[in-house]
Amino acid sequence: MLELLKKNIHMNRWKGNATSQVTLDDDFIVPDSMDDVDQIILSSGEITIDSVKNQAERLVVRGKLDFTILYRGAEGGLQTLSGSINFEEPINVPGLEEQDYVQLMWELEDLNAGIINSRKLSVKALVTLQVKVETAYDVDAAVEVDTGLETTDCPQVEILRRNVDVATIALRHKDTFRIKENLTLSGNKPNIDHILWSEMKLRGVTTRPVDGKMLLDGELMVFVIYQGEGEGAPIQWIEESIPFEGELAVSEVTDDMVPSVTVHLIHKDIEAKPDSDGEMREMDMDAVLELDMKLYREDSMELLSDLYSTNRELSLQTGEACFDKILTKNMSKCKIVEKVSLQNADRILQICHSEGTVKIDDTEVMEDGLHVEGVLEVRMLYLTSDDAQPIQSAVEDIPFHYLIEAPGINADTICQLNPGLEQLSAVMMGGGVVEVKATISLDLLALQPICEQVIISAADAPMDLDHLQKLPGIVGYIVQPGDSLWKIAKKFHTTIDTVMTANGLTEKSVKPGDRLILVKELS
């Protein structure tokens, strides 16, 4: 009796993706306690996703845009207005099933705050939601043959094996990492009356799995504008780079896993507080990072490629199993050096702050690489010589392109690309020209789908003795193109070992034109 020993392979397959754009548009009344609006200086927004519900062939995404606007009042002072816009967006995803795994990515493409009148502002934004869907399935593939007890009726089986490299998702895990820091004003800065504006941005975040934990490090860029204490005190700002490193306990992680990790800043807060002398010269900074971790394990599986018997007739049933293998894991650095000209250049005194956002516009598979096109959106805050409008801002889009090396990439390759900003500086060069230098990180994990024929079952039956007797006991054979020792031995009802012994071969390789003596195996 012939039985196949099978291995159950738990696989994840990309099922599809969908993209939707949400347009947000709302008007906001300036509270009575705040000054009339004369000029908008800065605006920023953050997207928060509250829920993602998986329905039949569609997702329902609920979230909100939290925005902050820094404006100059009619009396000349700076004030901050905050608000939010809720949204609910259904996204059609053909083939989506309830048990599928959904990954949602979002990006605030555009935010525009405008003045309707001195007491009413308009906020418009464009949000892109990108959905990627994976599904889990099991494959049973034959990995060994169990011929039962050794009897005269037992099939004498020749086995051809092959190794297949497979990448499986070993772990999905979400966790948070908190950064708390106390910032102290330098001696030349006045005390804080109140904070007008604050920003936090991640720079150069890297993650690395080790046994039982995930390591991470990077920088948190903090920028604060505040009103100095005392009548007539000038507007002040501080900028700090806070390095951080730490670890998250994840018991299932091993250091040989290949990570695909996205990091979002989901909470940020800065509050002014008194120092030990009771003066408002310190700030408590609190930030929470969310890590969405997906870790792959690379396994080399030995599968059965073919079987035949020298004393029984075997009937094989085969099927197709599709796997993913890791084609490349590549962290690339794209450097940008660009000169831009600002308006009203003659009135610019200095640039006091710059921050950037990396936006990917398009990716294209090229020979041995992935071509990436995008823009670096740089926002600069600068001081002017105009006493009525001493603080101004400008936004510049700097295009970039880069070819990420990925040998073997093709149209079927699944590319998971995480862009980031590692470094950014903006320096006045004179004449209103600003030199922007930046380093963009492009973290690519490329998976290559492969489909293999696998043996699902095998049935054996008695050998056709009449046919066997008609085969010649010994023949001469000239190796043909496409032949292998396995194919030759199977065709002539013998074994590779018998062919090698009869011909004095020391290696299991032949080439077209070789002459062989083939002896029929009698069982």
CA distances from 466 to 99, 364, 463, 470, 471 (A): 55, 60, 9, 6, 9
Tell me the pLDDT band of 514, cut-offs 50, 70 and 90: very high
Do 154 and 134 share a structural domain? Answer: no
Do 119 and 41 share a structural domain? Answer: yes
Give per-residue pLDDT as tens, 238-282. Answer: 999 999 999 999 999 999 999 999 999 999 999 999 999 999 999
Tell me, yes or no, whether 458 lies in a domain.
no
Q: Give percent above pLDDT 70 in the chain.
A: 97
Task: Output the pLDDT for position 421.
Answer: 94
Tell me, yes or no, whether 316 lies in a domain.
no
Do 163 and 190 share a structural domain? Answer: yes
Indicate whether 458 pLDDT > 70: yes
Indicate whether 315 pLDDT > 90: no
Do 369 and 342 share a structural domain? Answer: yes
Tell me the pLDDT band of 147, cut-offs 50, 70 and 90: low
Tell me, yes or no, whether 5 lies in a domain.
no
Give per-residue pLDDT as tens, 406-445. Answer: 999 999 998 999 999 999 999 988 777 899 999 999 999 9
Tell me, yes or no, whether 21 lies in a domain.
yes
Do 154 and 279 share a structural domain? Answer: yes
Tell me the pLDDT band of 6, cut-offs 50, 70 and 90: confident
Residue that terminates a domain, selected from 449, 479, 511:
449
- Which comes out higher in pLDDT, residue 23 or 146? 23
Do 406 and 286 share a structural domain? Answer: no
Strand partners, 447: 326, 414
Tell me the pLDDT band of 522, cut-offs 50, 70 and 90: low
Tell me, yes or no, whether 322 lies in a domain.
no
Least confident of 19-33, 77-91, 340-354: 340-354
Residue 472 sits in a domain whose CATH number is 3.10.350.10
Domain count within the chain: 4
Task: Output the pLDDT for position 148.
Answer: 61
Residue that terminates a domain, selected from 422, 449, 476:
449
Strand intervals (E) in 342-470: 348-366, 369-384, 391-405, 414-430, 433-462
Tokens standing for 366? 């090229």
Tell me, yes or no, whether 221 lies in a domain.
yes
Number of Cβ within 10 Å of residue 78's Cβ equals 20
Give per-residue pLDDT as tens, 478-509. Answer: 999 999 999 999 988 889 999 999 999 999 88
Do 183 and 131 share a structural domain? Answer: no
Q: State how far the Cα of 111 lies from the Cα of 106, in Å rounded to an integer.
A: 14
Do 201 and 84 share a structural domain? Answer: no
Tell me the pLDDT band of 189, cut-offs 50, 70 and 90: very high
Q: Are 28 and 101 in contact (CB under 8 A)?
A: no
Mean pLDDT of 354-358: 93
- Which comes out higher in pLDDT, residue 76 or 183? 183
Tell me, yes or no, whether 321 lies in a domain.
no
Q: Give percent above pLDDT 90 in the chain.
A: 61
Do 366 and 306 share a structural domain? Answer: no
Containing structural domain, residue 294? 147-310
Tell me, yes or no, whether 514 lies in a domain.
yes
Q: State how far the Cα of 165 lies from the Cα of 491, in Å rounded to an integer.
A: 29
Indicate whether 216 pLDDT > 90: yes
Residue that terminates a domain, selected from 105, 124, 140:
140
Task: Output the pLDDT for position 430.
Answer: 78
Do 231 and 368 share a structural domain? Answer: no
pTM: 0.82
Do 157 and 288 share a structural domain? Answer: yes
Q: Which of 340, 432, 446 is nearest to 384 (CA)?
A: 432
Task: Output the pLDDT for position 129.
Answer: 95
Task: Output the pLDDT for position 116.
Answer: 96
Q: State how far the Cα of 260 lies from the Cα of 214, in Å rounded to an integer.
A: 12
Do 300 and 342 share a structural domain? Answer: no
Report the phi/psi class of residue 329: left, alpha or beta, with left for phi > 0 and alpha for psi in -120 to 50: beta
Task: Output the pLDDT for position 5.
Answer: 86
